[in-house]
Amino acid sequence: MQYRQFGSLDWKVSALGFGAMRLPVLSDDHSKINEPEAMKMMRHAIDAGVNYVDTAYTYHQEQSEHFVGKVLKDGYREKVRLATKMPCWLINEKADFDHYLEEQMNRLDVDQLDFYLLHALNKKQWQKCQELGVVSWAEKRMSEGLFNHFCFSFHDEYPVFEAIVQAYDNWAMAQIQYNYVDVNYQAGRKGLKLAADRGLAVVVMEPLRGGRIAKNPPPASVARMWEKSDRNWSPAAWAFHWLWDQPEVSTALSGMSKMIEVEENLETASGSTVEKLTAEDHALIEKVREVYFSLAPIPCTECEYCLPCPSGVAIPRIFNIYNDSVAYEAWNNGRNSYNEFIKAEARADKCVECGECEEACPQNIKIMDWLARAHEMLAKPKE
């Protein structure tokens, strides 16, 4: 494992961090974590040197923290720094800060957290948290030893990121969505540099764009691009090396859902260094980025923040089928999947345009418009 500087802290973090958001599950029900398998995966990663674990109140329908608490028994708590996140969108009054922190520490069964993040900050949530005095609350709880460092994860435009970073001098870290496709998206490269210049560690989430840029084999047009290099890296390895090439990136969190992914990502991380990529590598990645932009029209990362839809629409699954139909030019497969795997009551035409999902979407996707388009294309008979 390679280790990297973590902002201004006197500590080095593993290049690869474990995100407990996409653990293996027993069925389509994401609350049913396949615990024996997920336990093996997480402990194997920690045994191999991963020293950063990330979870949140809402992951796996509120089961992730309970499960991570079990993983960190038997001496594993001492081997990692643990991060979890306050669900800002559920906060209504100041007393809720303590309510969630206490509940989360109980779920995790720990006396102290290393990093406590405001989850998925955007302009509205930050304003609300500030008005409720979140910074002075956090400083008090840190002085009492409940958590060591106050941080935030972010989903909004760059100016909001800049305002949040500058609003408090003691942020230890910012967690941002960053990958070779989303270079100028949300905080983006500009936000990465700003945070690092101010001494914040930067933890990267969605390094593989939720798995979308790690498909192996990739779409034919992308595969042709990668073949131009003699690197012999998988699509996931290209994405990670692009991140670790940059000194401002502290760690890349991966939400691994299979042991084979853990193995591969550990191996990639152990071969990582800053400035590993050549000018030719960068030029090639730039071209692949352009191809991907043209291939996947809906920038959905399958984070599921839009769920549950009050009308039961299976938003991310429909977007996934639509994007893959476009990327692979596989409309008949897409129509099959739509008809076979999405129940009639969860299809896009059940949307009543209440707008709740668009409020929740960190990617600011025009969900209602895309649902209408997806239904128009996917509900057609096969050609």
Ligand X SMILES: NC(=O)c1ccc[n+]([C@@H]2O[C@H](COP(=O)([O-])OP(=O)(O)OC[C@H]3O[C@@H](n4cnc5c(N)ncnc54)[C@H](OP(=O)(O)O)[C@@H]3O)[C@@H](O)[C@H]2O)c1
Name the residues that contact ligand SF4, by CB under 6 A.
300-306, 309-311, 313, 315-316, 319, 351-357, 360-361, 363, 365, 367-368, 371
In this chain, which residue has its C-beta nearest to ligand X?
255
Smaller CB separation from ligand X, 265 or 325: 265
Contact 311, 346 (CB under 8 A): no
Smaller CB separation from ligand X, 292 or 351: 292
Q: How far is the CB of 20 from ligand X (least distance, A)?
A: 6
Q: How far is CA 1 from CA 130, 277, 325, 346, in A?
A: 38, 19, 38, 43
The token pair that represents 242 in the structure block? 């692009």
Q: How far is the CB of 362 from ligand SF4 (least distance, A)?
A: 6
Q: How far is the CB of 107 from ligand X (least distance, A)?
A: 15
Smaller CB separation from ligand X, 315 or 351: 315
Q: How far is the CB of 323 from ligand X (least distance, A)?
A: 13
Smaller CB separation from ligand SF4, 272 or 320: 320
Contact 240, 252 (CB under 8 A): yes
Q: How far is the CB of 300 from ligand SF4 (least distance, A)?
A: 3
CA dihedral angle for residue 271, residue 274, residue 279, residue 285, rounded to 10 degrees:
70
Smaller CB separation from ligand X, 250 or 301: 301
Smaller CB separation from ligand X, 11 or 89: 89
Q: Which amino acid is at 176?
A: I
Smaller CB separation from ligand SF4, 138 or 371: 371
246: partner contacted, choices ligand SF4, ligand X, none (Cβ within 5-8 A by kind)? none
306: partner contacted, choices ligand X, ligand SF4, none (Cβ within 5-8 A by kind)? ligand SF4
Q: How far is the CB of 161 from ligand SF4 (least distance, A)?
A: 18
21: partner contacted, choices ligand X, ligand SF4, none (Cβ within 5-8 A by kind)? ligand X
Contact 369, 318 (CB under 8 A): no
Q: How far is the CB of 237 from ligand X (least distance, A)?
A: 7
Q: How far is the CB of 78 from ligand X (least distance, A)?
A: 21
Distance CA 306, CA 295 (A): 23
**Contact positions vs ligand X (CB under 6 A):** 19-22, 54, 119-120, 153, 155, 175, 205-211, 214, 216, 236, 253-258, 261, 264-265, 301, 303
153 beta partners: 175
313: partner contacted, choices ligand SF4, ligand X, none (Cβ within 5-8 A by kind)? ligand SF4
Prior bond to 308 cis, omega within 30?
Answer: yes
365: partner contacted, choices ligand X, ligand SF4, none (Cβ within 5-8 A by kind)? ligand SF4
351: partner contacted, choices ligand SF4, ligand X, none (Cβ within 5-8 A by kind)? ligand SF4
Smaller CB separation from ligand SF4, 156 or 302: 302
Contact 191, 162 (CB under 8 A): yes
148: partner contacted, choices ligand X, ligand SF4, none (Cβ within 5-8 A by kind)? none
Contact 155, 363 (CB under 8 A): yes
Q: Residue 330: phi, psi to the nearest 5?
A: -120, 65
Q: How far is the CB of 307 from ligand SF4 (least distance, A)?
A: 7
Q: How far is CA 124 from CA 76, 128, 129, 160, in A?
A: 37, 6, 9, 10
CA dihedral angle for residue 121, residue 8, residue 137, residue 71, rounded to 10 degrees:
70
261: partner contacted, choices ligand X, ligand SF4, none (Cβ within 5-8 A by kind)? ligand X
Smaller CB separation from ligand X, 22 or 347: 22
Contact 128, 91 (CB under 8 A): yes
Radius of gyration of the chain, Cα coordinates, nearest whole angstrom: 20
71: partner contacted, choices ligand SF4, ligand X, none (Cβ within 5-8 A by kind)? none
Q: Residue 3: phi, psi to the nearest 5?
A: -120, 150
Cβ neighbours of 231 (radius 10 Å)? 15
Nearest to 190 by CA among 172, 206, 178: 178
Cβ neighbours of 98 (radius 10 Å)? 13
Contact 91, 149 (CB under 8 A): no
